[in-house]
């Protein structure tokens, strides 16, 4: 099968039936989509977080870890335009976390669920050498509003919400033990305590001019390539339009890193990436700013190239397809970050 996640997913998809009673969409999107009575559909997503692979307890305390475990799943529901409803949690616990951190983890987990009116309905616990958390989340929405990755059209504009690269910068700061610096608090918070864009996802899904959509978990280069591959198109990204915060640029200077590289390949932003019909995005961005107080940025357009290209400030152009984070199935320990979006499977 190969040891990359992309190769593994491709092999598993080939083994799995693509048609089953009630199944509308299976492998290949942020959620599976199942039919329900009436005009509603059921959305299902799942994620696994493993200590020293997806998180590092040296800087990711149990409370914020609980919040993040819920948030990354809620974000997948938002990516389809849905409303999150119910959660299942399975936890493998070592002695230290079971004795000292489980109550804090659950406080954070249920706090994030509560902020989005999600109810915890069950799960499982087991003893293990290191902590592992698996979350399954169910959501719902109108069948005619589901936004798949495969809906991008030639000539569409490519848009993102918020700022890019902040979570990757926050991780880099945590790895240098600078996570408590007030001047970089915005970046560290983006890594430790991301905010899923549920209200934005629902607003966008109700707009006819919005076509393809997903959340940004693996970096713009990889996630836009997922949309392009699913839609049979390509994309041009304008590097001068990447929304980079002033704090991100300051951190890049401090760490001697490229701010744009965090935005393109860092991952874990959990902002929304979507395409709109040509000429319609600006008015939509004004509405989102007015109603939700969020910033949208046009970063490119959909083309017929079948690859994602970046146009840089000096006019140079290079292919960046799938140059974000890719999980290998034999990861090194102590990475402290999660692999790409589980819902690709």
How are the residues of the chain apportioned to helix, strand and coil, as percentages rounded to the nearest 5?
Answer: 40, 25, 35
Where are the domains positioned within the chain?
5-145, 149-337
Residue 28 has a pLDDT of 86
Residue 181 has a pLDDT of 66
Contacts of 70 (CB under 8 A, 6+ apart): 87, 108, 109, 112, 113, 118, 135
Asked if pLDDT for residue 188 goes beyond 70, the answer is yes
Contacts of 322 (CB under 8 A, 6+ apart): 6, 221, 222, 225
Asked if pLDDT for residue 324 goes beyond 80, the answer is no
Residue 62 has a pLDDT of 94
Residue 176 has a pLDDT of 86
Cα distance between residue 185 and residue 114, in whole Å: 24
Q: How confident is the model at residue 126 (pLDDT cuts 50, 70, 90)?
A: very high
Which one, of 187, 159, 191, lies nearest residue 294 by Cα? 159
Residue 18 has a pLDDT of 60
Asked if pLDDT for residue 206 goes beyond 70, the answer is yes
Cα distance between residue 188 and residue 197, in whole Å: 18
Mean pLDDT of 13-25: 68
Does the reported pTM lie above 0.85?
Answer: yes
Say which residue, 95 or 181, is predicted with more confidence. Answer: 95
**Mean pLDDT (the chain, rounded):** 90
Q: Using one digit for the tens of pLDDT, what is the confidence trace for 45-60?
A: 999 999 988 899 889 9
Quote the crossing angle between the two packed helices 185-192 and 166-175, to the nearest 10°. Answer: 100
Q: Using one digit for the tens of pLDDT, what is the confidence trace for 242-283?
A: 999 999 999 999 999 999 999 999 999 999 999 999 999 999
For residue 134, give both structure tokens: 């698996």
Residue 13 has a pLDDT of 52
CATH topology classification for 5-145: 60s Ribosomal Protein L30; Chain: A; (3.30.1330)
Domains 5-145 and 149-337 share a fold: no
Cα distance between residue 331 and residue 233, in whole Å: 32
Thinking of the domain 149-337, which architecture would CATH place it in? Alpha-Beta Complex (3.90)
Mean pLDDT of 329-345: 45
């Amino acid at each position: 099968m190969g040891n990359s996640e992309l190769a593994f997913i491709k092999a598993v998809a080939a083994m799995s039936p693509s048609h089953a009673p009630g199944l509308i969409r299976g492998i290949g999107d942020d959620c599976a989509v199942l039919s329900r009575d009436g005009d509603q559909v059921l959305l299902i997503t799942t994620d696994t977080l493993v200590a020293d692979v997806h998180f590092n307890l040296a800087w990711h305390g149990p409370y914020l870890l609980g919040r993040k475990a819920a948030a990354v799943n809620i974000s997948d529901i938002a990516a389809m335009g849905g409303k999150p409803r119910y959660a299942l949690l399975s936890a493998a616990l070592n002695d230290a976390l079971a004795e000292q951190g489980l109550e804090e983890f659950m406080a954070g987990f249920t706090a994030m669920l509560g902020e989005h009116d999600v109810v915890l309905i069950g799960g499982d616990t087991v003893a293990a050498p290191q902590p592992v958390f698996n979350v399954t989340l169910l959501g719902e929405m109108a069948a005619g509003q589901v936004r798949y990755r495969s809906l991008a059209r030639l000539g569409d504009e490519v848009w993102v919400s918020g700022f890019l690269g902040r979570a990757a910068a926050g991780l880099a700061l945590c790895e240098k033990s600078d996570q408590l610096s007030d001047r970089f608090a915005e970046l560290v918070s983006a890594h430790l305590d991301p905010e899923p864009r549920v209200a934005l996802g629902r607003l966008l899904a109700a707009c006819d001019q919005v076509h393809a959509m997903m959340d940004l978990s693996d970096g713009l280069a990889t996630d836009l390539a997922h949309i392009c591959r699913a839609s049979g198109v390509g994309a041009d990204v304008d590097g001068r339009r990447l929304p980079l915060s002033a704090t991100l640029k300051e951190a890049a200077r401090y760490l001697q890193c490229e701010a744009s590289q965090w935005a393109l390949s860092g991952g874990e932003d959990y902002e929304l990436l979507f395409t709109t019909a040509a000429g319609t995005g600006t008015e939509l961005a004004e509405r989102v700013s007015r109603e939700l107080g969020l910033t949208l940025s046009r970063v490119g357009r959909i083309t017929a190239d079948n690859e994602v290209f970046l146009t840089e400030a000096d006019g140079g152009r290079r292919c960046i397809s799938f140059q974000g984070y890719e999980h290998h199935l034999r990861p090194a320990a102590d990475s402290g970050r999660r692999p790409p979006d589980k819902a690709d499977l």
